Chain A
């Protein structure tokens, strides 16, 4: 297993790392940079060898057949979006500031990211015009049950999504180094995938009452 598998060249990597550092900035707590979210996405784009960790954390699943083909297609699409997206971001930065994204200051970087975000969708554009406060980051519908369809995302949304994933996914995927992301938001995650797999990870300590439901004592077996 090549745990250093990568996709980006040095410039692409630096650009993505800098952009991710604006998406989850470092302040009094660690951000995307410290959690190494760029490692997460670089590994994701390296191919299809790191799509699914084995559930006991002992390695990664080897995909075959139709599943492998679907993932190859998805990764290829994401790669092309990153390559084109980084180039376009630099083009806009050169046009506006005569410098590539990595050479801008944080303020300028935020402004350029907001610009590609607005270019993303007509809804984002409209929301930005109508209510700039909400459009900062784009109005989100909460994902209630379904997963997001990564294939439909443009470069910017992909970048935001992957930053969040790299910050908060299990560390086995290359980001969330030392569980920094979980510590920042206050999630006492399992020590490792193996803990969950073995049934040792239990969240009852975070319940209101880890013994009984209110009222259950008096009428649990009551016949209606």
Chain B
């Protein structure tokens, strides 16, 4: 038997960063919305300061036994099970256990193809929208979240209509070292804009600066996340019905080729068909592609809205890598969880003289997860007398300067369905096929070298460079699997993130991003979701 709940205006699949942002906008503008979220709806009482549970035991991370993925470096070889690019699956999605570095993309990010020209082997493309078009929505998200930052401090940022709602977070010792190093080198640096409140804002108290932050849910509810901000806003409208533990398996079409319903399974294994006028995919770029590819029909035998075989292709993940150093004076990189940071866009913009395309965001951080269990210096022993000495000498005296790699989109880098591995619900899992482009490797080496220079200038010793030799998905950033563009032959969605082939299907996560850019994507993901949601409201009114 299949349940048929009442039809609503909009169904949003996924209640993470983008799905929650869209829900806020749609419900506040009067639409009745059902959200279908695969994972649980956890409250702040269920979160705590427990490194073992959160970092090592998948308390929030997807359990790889239940939610495997597979990856391979070439279509010729068999894919291996690998928790590639995991993001928490629960209400709030990846924002539940982040610390939320929220830089804006720069104006050139939206036209990199024009700025840098053609790059052989890549599908580098301009975005169909501009920074100026997105700027109002950046502002909207920053003010809804209460982002803490310093306007004007990043000399490479585009124009902004006003400052940040909250001043920057207090300065950590690792941020101080970063500023020192950059100042000595003559490079611009700025306090990393953060999804946290440096002071009370909008009825919310200031954020508690714990060590258990990155990778931990927030027991105080004072960090800024989709769970703490957008979901309550949507609930407050009375027009938002959020159904957790509702796993969408397929979208089905009506006889006009529009989406009729989302088919989902609840916690008890009961199937439902939820009908609506419009459907928004917000599952994250990997799972959105997977769901589209699982939704086959006579009209779309190769997957939903995938007539041109681009769904899942051009996937980009960034990569997070770093230089690491030790210092004589204490850094306490666990203070604030290791990510109350300082940043530089000095090597962000494209510069042809460097011999590769584009660049990336550089920032201060703890070494890895700088908490007791998971801290460790690269290349150092992991056990024995010497290892214990390293722990004692450097746990409080080490830090990293890390970079976000702007990996290039390539046609053959893709997400598709694995032909053998299934998840705990019996559905085929996402398979990642990915070979880094030479540009990715060259850019990564360049940026990690600059990271090392900052550490050296700040007085760091024993600088160790960990180059990104492959893309492993360790950033938990995902983009590109349903790129937007004006040309239906070379893109999956139009500039409003509506699929070219199905006019009541929108995609609001990172899937429509034609390029990854070199910055953490989620501010832009949420701003874009806000933009698309407003378009849906407006165009609905016009129909």
A-contacting 9-mer, from B320-328, B347-355, B495-503: B320-328
Cβ B380 vs Cβ A137 within 8 A:
yes
A35 to chain B minimum Cβ distance, whole angstroms, is 12
Q: Do B64 and A151 touch across chains, with their CB atoms under 8 A apart?
A: yes
Q: Is the CB of A207 within 8 A of B167?
A: no
Q: Bound state CA distance, A69 and B219, in angstroms? A: 27
B21, chain A: closest CB distance, angstroms:
23
Cα distance A65–B209 when bound, in Å? 35
Choose among B167, B320, B383 the residue with the greatest number of A CB atoms under 10 Å from its CB.
B383
B246 at the interface (CB under 8 A from A): no
Q: Is the interface of B mostly helix, strand, loop or mixed?
A: loop
Query: Chain A residues in contact with chain B, CB under 8 A?
Result: 22-25, 27, 29, 31, 51-57, 65-67, 69-70, 73-74, 110, 113, 134, 136-151, 160, 163-165, 168-170, 173, 181-182, 184-187, 189-190, 193, 195-199, 201-204, 206-216, 219-224
User: With A213-B169, A213-B171 in contact, do A52 and B152 touch (Cβ < 8 Å)?
Assistant: no
Q: Find out whether the CB atom of A203 lies under 8 angstroms from the CB atom of B335.
A: yes
Determine whether the beta carbon of B384 is less than 8 Å from that of A22: yes
Best-surrounded residue of A134, A209, A215, A224 (most CB of chain B within 10 A) = A224
Complex CA–CA separation, A52 to B391 (angstroms):
26
The segment from B229-237, B364-372, B411-419, B451-459 that touches chain A is: B364-372
**B539 is an interface residue with CB less than 8 A from chain A:** no
Closest to B64 in A: A149
CA distance A184 to B391 in the complex (A): 8
CB pair A55 B45 closer than 8 Å? yes
By beta carbon, the residue of chain B nearest A222 is B152
Residues of chain A contacted by B385 (CB below 8 angstroms): 25, 27
Pair B168/A216 contact, Cβ less than 8 Å: yes
Residues of B in contact with A (beta carbons under 8 Å apart): 45-53, 55-59, 61, 63-66, 83, 86, 150-153, 157, 159-164, 167-173, 175-176, 179, 191, 208-212, 215, 219-220, 222, 267, 320-322, 324, 332, 334-336, 340, 367-369, 371-374, 376-388, 391-392, 395-396, 400, 402, 424, 466, 472-476
Q: Which 9 A-B pairs have the closest CB atoms?
A: A55-B48, A137-B381, A196-B49, A206-B335, A168-B372, A213-B168, A206-B332, A169-B52, A208-B176
Contacts of B472 in A (CB 8 A): 146
Q: Inside 8 A of A210's CB, which chain B residues have their CB?
A: 170
Docked complex Cα distance between A144 and B160 (Å): 32
Could you tell me if A142 and B163 are in contact, using CB atoms closer than 8 angstroms? no
State whether A164 touches B373 (Cβ < 8 A): yes
User: Contact: B383 with A73, CB < 8 Å?
Assistant: no
Is A169 touching B51 in the complex (CB atoms < 8 A)?
yes
Residue contacts A-B, CB under 8 angstroms, 6 given: A70-B63, A136-B381, A151-B65, A168-B372, A224-B151, A224-B152
On whether the beta carbons of A170 and B51 are closer than 8 Å, the reply is yes
Residues in B with CB closer than 8 Å to A134 are 379, 381
| Given A144-B320, A145-B476, A147-B55, A221-B163 contact (CB < 8 Å) | yes
| Cβ contacts under 8 Å, B402 to chain A | 144
- Do A203 and B66 touch (CB < 8 A)? no
- The answer to whether A208 and B162 have CB atoms under 8 Å apart is no
Residue pair A66, B66 in contact (C-beta under 8 Å): yes
Residue of A nearest to B374 (CB): A143
* Residues of chain A with a CB closer than 8 A to B476's CB: 145-146
Query: Shortest Cβ distance from A30 into chain B, in angstroms?
Result: 10
Cα A193 to Cα B45 in complex, Å, equals 12
In the bound complex, what is the Cα–Cα distance between A45 and B175 (angstroms)?
Answer: 41
